[in-house]
Amino acid sequence: MTTLIPVHLRYTKEHEWASAQDDNIVAIGITHHAQQRLGDVVYLELPPIGKTVEKDKIFGTVESVKAVSDLFSPLTGVVVAVNEALVNHPEDINQDPYKKAWMIKIRIKQPEHLDELMDSVAYARYLEQHTK
Amino acid sequence: MKRTPLYDCHLRLGAQMTDFGGFEMPIRYSGDKIEHMAVREKVGLFDVSHMGEILIAGPKAEEDVNRLLSNDAAKIQNGQAFYAAMLNADGKIIDDVVAYKFSPEKFIICVNASNREKDFKWIHENCNYAKDVSDNFAQIAVQGPRAINLVDALSPKEARSLKRYHFAEGKLQLETQSTDAIIARTGYTGEDGFELYVSTRDATKVWETLFKVGSPWGVTACGLAARDTLRLEAGMCLYGNDINEETTPFEAGIDFVVKLNKSHSFVGQVALQKQKLNGISKKLCGLRVTGKGIARHGYSIHAKTGKRIGVVTSGTQTPYLNQAIALGYVESDFMNTGTEIAIEIRGQLIPAQIVSIPFYRKASKELL
């Protein structure tokens, strides 16, 4: 099975991705591998705009037909946008995990923290080591 | 971890594998919803070779089965299968099984994979002759409205003559040979369908032939995830989730498998007679989440006042009905259909309702 890992994104061990935007804004979602493990996603719970999310802490929940999974924030920041369209159509997480299925955008204080996350090569290696 | 004879077939189909009952099993191939819908609308194939099979034989086989199981083996015809509970002395469920009656001298009991060793030990201790024959069989479930067309291609006589919950020993015609099989019109999906017990040696050929003849009918390989959502929609219990050695058949709402007045006494009978007299204090009920969220195994159930009244044992967002449905035990004061309750989902009490089981029922004229 092919696992898609775009080169321009950063990744966490919990299989979230982070995408640097302008003005210290970072978009967050879950990886192709994560959606594949979950199966068909049917429900998504995200924090409201204005809420502070903390690195490695739970910011939301995603549920598939089969299971519930917590979403962990790759970075600390304040939520500036929430993908409401995705909440109404969580199946997009399966179909387009990296574009349509961004979940939240946060403003971070220290942009250098983004570089501490895994790049695509490191994430690919991590996946190889931790999955069959 | 153990593998079924179809393990390589699953890998070739790109299945995602998981540990289930000590076996490395396919959890999904193409997607949970696609697989679920294929069974409701067309036909799905499941590898259920992980299930255990225990042979009970000899002149006292029927007597033994009647002592071990709650249902009445004497009232069942040869060539008929029946769902039953195997109980301990307290009337609690050791396992839920399907028993196949070949003759009063020969039965095969199909048991849950996770209970195979426990069940065999129990059966062995409580009857005259029993043998674990699980390793002789692969089991393929062909389920859905088009299942009949697939089985018809391999075994026309049985496909056309078998009524629901009947079985026959016959042959399956493969491409260059035929193979012996037990062909049963049984299943765990709420649809019409068959379960084929075949030799481990020919399992791959049977699987591949079913795929080939099934392609015009839209045959789809289905994993354990779809098996679970299908059985839940059909309101069927899953051992380990909805029933276990803490629950009785009356509490689980499977009263129809308990024949308290049958001619032979059975293990657990006295306890169940007592429970019938005194009534049950909890009951497995259908639940539908009316608010936002999905109820899952282990979530607590509350009355509208907030008082805790039970626990969810299985739950999902079901693909066919597209609703958050669940099974759970509630105190008997709250078990009536229509009762408004709440389920605690991640710290919040979400409105839900007691609904009747099954959630999904195939129109009866379509089910033979």
* pLDDT tens-digit map of A13-70: 999 999 999 889 999 999 999 999 999 999 999 999 999 999 999 999 999 998 899 9
B288, B352 contact by CB (below 8 A): yes
Q: Which of A66, A69, A84 to mutate to test the interface with B (most CBs of B within 10 A)?
A: A66
Nearest CA to B174 out of B143, B195, B150 is that of B150
Q: Which residues of B94-127 are buried (b: 16+ CB within 10 A; e: fewer)?
A: bbbbbbbbbebeebbbbbbbbbbeebbebbeeeb
Strands B80-87 and B300-302: unpaired
* Pick from B14, B27, B317: CB nearest A42: B317
pLDDT band at A130 (very low <50, low <70, confident <90, very high): confident
Q: Which two tokens stand for residue A83?
A: 């993908």
- pLDDT tens for A71-92 read 999 999 999 999 999 999 999 9
The dihedral through the CA atoms of B357, B360, B365, B368 has a sign that is negative
Chain A residues within 8 angstroms (CB to CB) of chain B: 1, 36-37, 39-40, 42-43, 45, 61, 63-66, 68, 94
Quick one: CA dihedral B70, B75, B81, B82, positive or negative?
negative
pLDDT in tens, chain B (368 residues): 999 999 999 999 999 999 998 999 999 999 999 999 999 999 999 999 999 999 999 999 999 999 999 999 999 999 999 999 999 999 999 999 999 999 999 999 999 999 999 999 999 999 999 999 999 999 999 999 999 999 999 999 999 899 999 999 999 999 999 999 999 999 999 999 999 999 999 999 999 999 999 999 999 999 999 999 999 999 999 999 999 999 999 999 999 999 999 999 999 999 999 999 999 999 999 999 999 999 999 999 999 999 999 999 999 999 899 899 999 999 999 999 999 999 999 999 999 999 999 999 887 554 44
Q: What is the pLDDT of residue A3?
A: 62
Q: Tell me, what's the pLDDT at B222? A: 98
Cα nearest neighbour of B11 on chain A: A1
| CA-based nearest residue in chain A for residue B15 | A1
Structure tokens at A43: 């429900």
What does pTM read for this prediction? 0.91
Contact A40 B33 (CB under 8 A): yes
CB B192 within 8 A of CB B368: yes
Contact B32 A64 (CB under 8 A): yes
Measure the CA–CA gap between B167 and B80, rounded to whole angstroms: 6
What percent of chain A shows pLDDT beyond 70?
97
Structure tokens at B106: 């020969």
- By C-alpha distance, the chain B residue nearest A63 is B294
Q: Do B229 and A64 touch (CB under 8 A)?
A: no
DSSP per position, B201-232: TTHHHHHHHHHHHHGGGTEEE--HHHHHHHHH
Q: Tell me how far apart the alpha carbons of residues A48 and A103 are, in angstroms, rounded to a whole number.
A: 11
Say if the Cβ atoms of A39 and B28 lie within 8 Å: yes
Of A42, A61, A66, the CB nearest to B346: A61
Select from B14, B33, B346 the Cβ nearest to the Cβ of A1: B14
- Give chain B positions within 8 Å (CB) of A94: 31
Cβ-Cβ contacts under 8 Å, A43 against chain B: 293-294, 317
**A65 and B16 in contact by Cβ < 8 A?**
no
User: What per-residue confidence (pLDDT) applies to B296?
Assistant: 96
Interchain CB distance below 8 Å, B31 and A39:
yes
Exposed/middle/buried for B161, CB within 10 Å: 0-12, 13-18, 19+? exposed
What average pLDDT is seen over chain A? 93
| Minimum distance, in Å, between the CA of residue A64 and any CA atom of chain B | 8
All residues of chain A having their beta carbon less than 8 Å from the beta carbon of residue B32 are 39-40, 64-66
Average pLDDT over residues A107-132: 91
CB contact under 8 A, A63 and B294: yes
Nearest-angstrom CA–CA distance, B158 and B142: 14
The DSSP annotation for B110-153 comes to EE-GGGHHHHHHHHHHHSS-EEE-GGGEEEEEEESTTHHHHHHH
* Chain A residue with the nearest C-alpha to that of B224: A66
Burial-class residue A48 by CB neighbours within 10 Å (0-12, 13-18, 19+).
exposed
Please give the residue of chain A at the shortest CA–CA distance from B30: A39
Tell me how many degrees the CA angle B6-B12-B15 measures, rounded to the nearest 5: 80
CA distance A89 to chain B (A): 13
Q: How many contacts (CB atoms, under 8 Å) link A and B?
A: 40
* pLDDT band, residue A131 (cuts 50/70/90): confident
Is pLDDT of A1 > 70?
Answer: no
CB–CB of B229 and A37 under 8 A? no
pLDDT computed for residue B365 by the predictor:
52
- Residue B294 to residue A66, Cβ atoms within 8 A: no
Using a CB–CB cut-off of 8 Å, the residues of B that contact A are 14, 16, 27-28, 31-33, 36, 225, 228-229, 293-294, 296, 316-319, 346
